[in-house]
Amino acid sequence: MGGGVEIPFGLATSVGPLPFGSVEPAVVFALSAHPRFPTAPVLGGAENSLLARAVDGVSGIEVLPPGLLRVDPADLPSPGGAISAGASLGGAPHAALRSFLDALAAADGGRSHSGPVRVGVLGPVTLTLALQAAGVPLVRASALARTLVEQRSAAVLAATRRAAPDAVAVIVLSEPGLIGAMHPTFPLSPTEVRTLLDPVVDVLDRSPSAGELIIGIHVPGRTDWETILASGVSLVSAPADAGLVGWAEQLGSMLERGGWIAWGCVPVDQPLGTSEELLWRRLAALWGEMGAVGVDPMLLRLRSMVSPADGLGHFGVSQAGLVIDLVSSISSRVRRQTIAARLSLGA
């Protein structure tokens, strides 16, 4: 589950989707954007999305623009029959991931990367809802999604470990489908969400490839963090939004157990400006609010990462570069401020 794994605090990282349609520029951008904590890139286009990676090789399923599934029920495999497809990373949608891991293994004159590496996998809740939207009954959609994500995430972890055996593998389940999970109309109960998340976390945690591992979940909006944290994940990746204050008790407990928060401090749905000052003030104010309701202020900093609020696939390349620069600037401020705070406390 990754609790207690140590990496430097305040590191800058990303979420995954980038504004590139081909592999090489995406990999170069990903490795240069945050060299201390790179994120495996996801190319633009529905055919290269995390959804396409999730269902790659599964008979009876086709991904259509802008990111929907078309399912042939007669050709759809049973959950057990999807295992071999889920364990493979050989299809076209995984080309950017394979190239990224190859480049990572060859970096530094053949010495593999030894810092943290973030790799995203589409989560089982989001895949379940996508299958259900395509007409698959919920029970079958849940079983198929859970099996596929268990196998795919284990394969991603194993490939990451082969490429960078000394790295901290940060495997993050991308769950945009969990936005609004507290609403009464949400199609899954908390118990059903746990039934999907728990097995995936357990498969990763028990993997022979686990090593130094952090298991996280990225939700680019407000959600039911109590249910998510109960699955055993030790990284929350979310927009740095005041809505997190309502979950301060649960998030504080996770931090005390050695968990992490990746603060999505640079928005992707509003004008950015050219300075990090306002964004830094928003993050500092959020930390102040959480500290006021009982979360250890130093833990908020020492167990922090910073990132964009979500992926950059809908940006232009120059805009994406601006986002990366802003994240890096905020990362530097987090580190300077935290070091100053520790010195003032005599730590």
Pairing label, strands 260-266, 235-239: parallel
The CATH architecture annotation of domain 11-344 reads Alpha-Beta Barrel (3.20)
Instruction: Give residue 123's pLDDT.
Output: 98
Instruction: Give residue 86's pLDDT.
Output: 78
Instruction: Give residue 203's pLDDT.
Output: 97
CB atoms near residue 79 (< 10 Å): 16
Q: Per-residue DSSP letters for 90-126?
A: -SGGGHHHHHHHHHHHHTTTTPPP-SEEEEEEE-HHH
CB atoms near residue 6 (< 10 Å): 8
Please give the Cα distance from 299 to 252 (Å, whole number). Answer: 8
Return the DSSP state at 14: -
35-58 burial, b at 16+ Cβ within 10 Å, e below that, comes to eebbbbbbbbbebbbbbbbbbbbb
pLDDT tens for the chain, 347 residues: list them: 555 688 999 999 999 899 999 999 999 999 999 999 999 999 999 999 999 999 999 999 999 999 999 999 889 887 777 667 778 899 999 999 999 999 999 876 546 677 899 999 999 999 999 999 999 999 999 999 999 999 999 999 999 999 999 999 999 999 999 999 999 999 999 999 999 999 999 999 999 999 999 999 999 999 999 999 999 999 999 999 989 999 999 999 999 999 999 999 999 988 777 789 999 999 999 999 999 999 999 999 999 999 999 999 999 999 999 999 999 999 999 999 888 877 666 55
List the structure tokens of 337: 């401020």
Q: Which of 303, 315, 252 is nearest to 9 (CA)?
A: 303
Rounded (5°) CA angle 338-4-103:
85
- Residue 218 β-bridge partners: 174, 237
Determine if the peptide bond prior to 38 is cis (ω within 30°): no
Q: Which helix (H) or strand (E) holds 277?
A: helix 277-292
In this structure, are residues 279 and 265 in contact, taking their beta carbons and an 8 Å threshold?
yes
Return the DSSP state at 42: B
Instruction: Give residue 250's pLDDT.
Output: 97
User: What is the tens place of the pLDDT at every residue in 160-209?
Assistant: 999 999 999 999 999 999 999 999 999 999 999 999 999 999 999 999 99
Burial class (CB in 10 A: 0-12, 13-18, 19+), 199: middle
278-305 burial, b at 16+ Cβ within 10 Å, e below that, comes to ebbebbbebbeebbeeebeebbbbbbbb
Instruction: Give residue 106's pLDDT.
Output: 87
Please give the Cα distance from 229 to 215 (Å, whole number). Answer: 11
List the structure tokens of 250: 């649960």
Pairing label, strands 61-64, 68-71: antiparallel
